[in-house]
């Protein structure tokens, strides 16, 4: 029975999609490129539910075209693309997917750090281009044991990263808006942002994107870091000033960067960052495992269906 009208700007995993389709009439945008604004506006005019993807800006302007909307669900923990205050003004609940992606995202953060520290991709490129038997000129990596890891943004994922770092024998320091009351559990030490910049041998950035964190890492921050520092960004691209990062890597202000997020995103194939050898970039795959994407899709469906049925959302950002 197609009780509710729902718009989806991208796919969820099939079991979650089928669950939604059991009770909803779904308009689903399946193409790789973003749904055109005019199509979205047209589809939204009678929609009660929206499953939105991170490429869509949900703001006052868009919501004016959606007079019947009750609930928006996004399969992500970050929601910098969504004006949640505008949602609240329009009486629309917004749900995200915290919790279910914590371990997976921490795994990728730590994988990037390990790959960076051991210069895995330079080694792999060297082998693949057939240079192995021509004398090794690959850069030496660094040991993680005994090094100081700075974590900027100590939410659940930061805690999971800190636990991994401890197992690898690292000393962990962190900066967060507030000190965590449970930091004795990971042994991570709270420091000022400047102290983390100055002391970290390796840095993992996990902070959400907000007015306060946009451009948090610029030329002056890279200048304060150790010239030997390894820098990993797992948060959102605009937390880092891309030009400043390019300059820091090119001029040796820091040693290496591994990024799962970039600005712009996707990164064009001819972007200057791709000309550097001391960089590793993955295409925003922090949560991209079968199990985690399945769990995120199910939580997204739970949020959507709860909102449509006037029930509390299991993970609501702007609960009444
Ligand atoms: C991914 O970036 C997320 O916010 O879940």
Per residue in 44-62, pLDDT (tens digit) is 999 999 999 999 999 999 9
The pLDDT tens digits for 82-108 are 999 999 999 999 999 999 999 999 999
Same domain, 131 and 276: yes
Q: Are residues 70 and 112 in the same domain?
A: no
Report the distance separating Cα 232 and Cα 114, nearest Å: 10
Query: Does 77 contact ligand 1 (Cβ within 6 A)?
Result: yes
pLDDT tier at 320, thresholds 50, 70, 90? confident
Do 151 and 161 contact (CB within 8 A), yes or no? yes
Supply the pLDDT for residue 108: 98
Confidence label for 243 from pLDDT (cuts 50, 70 and 90):
very high
Instruction: Name the residue at shortest CA distance from atom 3 of ligand 1.
Output: 76
CATH code: domain of residue 301: 3.40.50.720
The verdict on the CB of residue 109 being under 6 Å from ligand 1 is no
Does the beta carbon of 141 sit less than 6 angstroms from any atom of ligand 1?
no
Residue 135 has pLDDT above 70, yes or no: no
The answer to whether residues 176 and 129 belong to one domain is yes
Q: Is the CB of 233 under 6 A from ligand 1?
A: no
Residue 200 has pLDDT above 70, yes or no: yes
Judge whether 180 counts as a catalytic residue: no
Q: Are residues 277 and 300 in the same domain?
A: no
- Is this model's pTM higher than 0.85 or not? yes
Is residue 185 among the annotated active site residues? Answer: no
Protein residue closest via CA to atom 4 of ligand 1: 78
As a whole number, mean pLDDT of residues 250-271 equals: 98
Q: Which candidate in 48, 119, 122, 284 is catalytic?
A: 284
Number of structural domains, the chain?
Answer: 2
Q: One of 90, 103, 214, 265 is an active-site residue; which one? A: 265
Residues 45 and 108 in one domain: no
Distance 136 CA to ligand 1 centre (A): 38
- The finding on whether 108 has its CB within 6 A of some atom of ligand 1 is no
Pair 61, 163 in one domain: no
Place of tokens 């995120």: 296
What domain range is 34 assigned to? 4-100+291-308
Mean pLDDT in residue range 220-225: 98
On whether residue 317 sits in a domain, the answer given is no
Q: Which residues contact 217 (CB under 8 A, 6 or more apart)?
A: 205, 231, 233, 239, 240, 241, 244, 245
pLDDT at 126 over 80: yes
195 and 245 housed in the same domain:
yes
For the segment 123-128, the average pLDDT, to the nearest whole number, is: 91
Selected residue with higher pLDDT from 138 and 173: 173
Residue 96 alpha carbon, nearest atom of ligand 1? 5
pLDDT at 234 over 80: yes
How many whole angstroms from 160 Cα to the centroid of ligand 1? 16
The answer, yes or no, to whether residue 318 has pLDDT greater than 70, is: yes
Structural domain contains residue 116:
yes
pLDDT at 136: 65
Give catalytic status of residue 284 as yes or no: yes
94 and 34 within one domain:
yes
Q: How far is the CA of 286 from the centre of ligand 1 (A)?
A: 7
Q: pLDDT of 142-174, one tens digit each?
A: 999 999 999 999 999 999 999 999 999 999 999
Q: Are residues 276 and 163 in the same domain?
A: yes
């Amino acid at each position: 029975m197609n009780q509710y009208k729902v718009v989806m700007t991208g796919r969820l995993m099939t079991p979650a999609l089928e669950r939604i389709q059991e009770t909803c009439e779904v308009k689903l945008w399946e193409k790789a490129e973003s749904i055109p604004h005019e199509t979205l506006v047209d589809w939204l005019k009678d929609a009660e539910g929206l499953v939105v993807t991170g490429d869509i800006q949900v703001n006052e302007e868009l919501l004016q075209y959606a007079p019947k909307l009750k609930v928006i669900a996004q399969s992500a923990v970050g929601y910098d693309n969504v004006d949640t205050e505008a949602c609240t003004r329009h009486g629309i609940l917004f749900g995200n997917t915290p919790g279910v992606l914590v371990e997976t995202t921490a795994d990728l953060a730590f994988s990037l750090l390990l790959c960076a520290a051991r210069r895995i991709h330079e080694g792999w490129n060297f082998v693949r281009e057939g240079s192995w038997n021509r004398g090794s000129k690959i850069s030496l990596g660094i040991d993680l044991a005994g090094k100081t890891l700075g974590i900027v943004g100590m939410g659940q994922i930061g805690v999971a990263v800190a636990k991994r770092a401890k197992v690898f024998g690292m000393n962990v320091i962190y900066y967060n808006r507030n000190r965590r009351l449970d930091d004795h559990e990971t042994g991570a030490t709270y420091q000022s942002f400047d102290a983390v910049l100055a002391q970290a041998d390796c840095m993992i950035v996990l902070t959400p994107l907000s007015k306060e964190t946009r451009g948090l890492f610029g030329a002056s921050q890279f200048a304060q870091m150790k010239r030997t520092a390894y820098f990993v960004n797992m948060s959102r691209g605009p937390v880092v000033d891309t030009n400043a990062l390019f300059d820091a890597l090119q001029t040796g202000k820091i040693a290496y960067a591994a990024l799962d997020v970039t600005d712009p995103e996707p990164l064009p194939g001819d972007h200057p960052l791709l000309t550097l050898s001391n960089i590793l970039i993955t295409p925003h795959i922090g949560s991209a495992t079968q199990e985690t994407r399945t769990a995120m899709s199910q939580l997204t469906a739970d949020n959507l269906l709860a909102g449509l049925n006037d029930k509390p959302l299991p993970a609501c950002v702007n609960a009444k």
